[in-house]
Amino acid sequence: MKRVHIITYGCQMNKSDSEMMTGLLKQKGYLSTTDIEEADLVLVNTCSVREHAESRALGRLGELARLKRKRADLILGVCGCMAEHQKDQLLKKAPHLDFVLGVRRLAELPEIIDSVEKGSSSILCTGPDRKSPPPLHISLRNTGLKAWLPISLGCNNSCTYCIVPSLRGSLKSRDSREIVKEAESLVKNSYREVTLLGQNVNAYGQDRPGETDFAGLLEQLNAIPGLSRIRFATSHPKDISPRIIEALADLPRVCEALHLPIQAGSNNILTRMRRGYTVEHYLEIVSQLRKKMPSIAITTDIIAGFPGETEEDFESTLAVVKEIGFDGAFTFKFSPRPGTPAAEMTGQIPEQARKERLDRLIEIQNRITKQKNEGLIGSEQEVLVDGKNPKKPGFLLGRTRTDKTTTFAGPEDLIGQIVKIKITKATTWCIGDW
C-alpha cells in the first residue's frame, strides 16, 4: 500500500473535505498516515479566508520543498480554497508542486493522481466543478464517535469581506435522502453525534424548491433511533426562520447550541458588510431563542476593524457583546481579501488600530465566557465522553450538549458514553469537576 499524509488548514468544512479525499485516495490504494516521513503523497488542504491562513500554508509549502528535494518520487499537491484563489500563481511560488486542485474540483483527485503517477507535473485544475461531489459514504473518518456531515456546498450570500462564495461557488444542497442514509449508517457504525456542515446551513434546500428545507432535515435526522446528538454550523442570522428556532427547541436530539456569527454590533458596519440584518433583528433572534431554551449556548464570530469602523461603531460592538453575553466568540482582525468589495472600500483601518480593537474585544469576551461558565457551577450536565484528558492523568474529556469542554475523573470505559456530571469548577476554557 502507498501512504498519504494530508495537512489541513481552515474550517470544519475543510476538515470534512480532507476526510472525503482520504476516502477517494483509499480507492486508489493509498492508506492515510500521520507520519509525513513515510508518505508517498502529501496533500495540503488550504484556506483563504484571511491572509494569515494563506501565509501559514505558503510557509509550510516552503518546508515541503526541502522534503521533495530529498525524495524526488514524493507526490506533492495543494488543494482547497487557496488552490482556487491563487491558481497558477501557486505553481510560480512553489514550482516543486505536482498539482494544484481547486476546491470545486476535489472529486477529480483520483484522475489527477493517475496523471502524476504517469509522469505529469505542475497540473492546474481549478474553476467550476465538472463532476458531482463524491457520495457521502466515501468519507473516511478517523474518529469513531462524532462525525461531520456536509449538507451543502457554496453560499449565495455576498458579504463584502468574504472570499468564500467566489471560491466555493453558489449554494448546492445535497439530497436529503442521501444525508439521512449516511447518518443512519454512521449510527450503525456506533457514531453518536453528527455536525451538519455548510457555509450557511440555514439556507439548506433553498436551491431545491419543493424539497426538504433545513428544519425538515433536522426533523428527519431527529427521528433516527440511536443518534444521540445533532449539531450544525454555520448559521446566518438572516436565514434563521421561526421554523428553525422551533426545531432547535422541540427536537430532543438537536443540541441547544447555536453558532450565529454577528460580525459587528453597529448597523452602519453591518450595512457595509452587506449582512442583510440589523443589530435589532439579531437581538430579537437571541431573545426568542432564550425564551424557548433558557440554557442555550450562543457563540459568534466578530470582525474588528472593518473599513469605515469608527471608534463609536466599535464601541457599539463591545456594548452588544456585553448585552448579549455570548458563550464564546471567534474574533478576527479584518483582513482585506483581494477581489472582495471590502478590500477596495475607503476608510481602511491601520493594522495597529485593528489589532488594538481586537485585543480589547478578546479581553471583554474572555471575561464574559468565564462568567457564563461559572454560572454553570452547581448544575448537572449531560456529557458525551470523548477520551482521556492528555493533561490530567485519571481525568476524561467530553462535551456538554451546549458544546462546552468538560473534564472530570473517571474510568476509560466511559469513553463513548453520555454521563451526567455535576459541575464544581469553571474557567474560560473548561468546566467540570476537578
* Contacting residues toward ligand SF4, per CB under 6 A: 155, 157, 159, 162, 164-165, 199-200, 236
Supply the minimum distance, in Å, between the C-beta of residue 278 and ligand 5AD: 18
Q: Is 337 in the site for ligand 5AD (CB under 6 A)?
A: yes
Residue 332 contacts ligand 5AD per CB under 6 A: yes
| Residue number with CB closer to ligand 5AD (74 or 270) | 270
Residue 317 binds ligand 5AD (CB under 6 A): no
Placement of cell 436551491 in the chain? 207
Kindly indicate which of the ranges 23-31, 36-44, 119-127, 327-335 contains the residues binding ligand 5AD, using the contact rule CB under 6 A: 327-335
Q: Binding ligand 5AD by CB under 6 A: which of 303, 318, 376, 421?
A: 303
> How far is the C-alpha of 432 from the C-alpha of 363, rounded, in Å?
23
Q: Which residue sits closest to ligand 5AD, CB atoms considered?
A: 301
Of 157 and 228, which CB lies nearer to ligand 5AD in the complex structure? Answer: 157
Compare residues 183 and 257 and give the one whose CB is closer to ligand 5AD.
257
Select the binding partner of residue 199 from ligand 5AD, ligand SF4, none (C-beta < 5 to 8 A, by kind).
ligand SF4
- Which span (39-47, 102-110, 150-158, 332-340) binds ligand 5AD, by CB under 6 A? 332-340
Residues of this chain, 253-292, that bind ligand 5AD according to CB under 6 A: 261, 263
State the minimum distance, in angstroms, from the CB of residue 232 to ligand SF4.
14
Q: Does 334 bind ligand 5AD (CB under 6 A)?
A: yes
Q: Which does 300 bind (CB under 5 to 8 A by kind): ligand 5AD, ligand SF4, none?
A: none
- Partner from ligand SF4, ligand 5AD, none binding residue 174, C-beta < 5-8 Å depending on class: none
Residues that bind ligand 5AD (CB under 6 A): 49-50, 161-162, 261, 263, 301, 303, 332, 334-335, 337
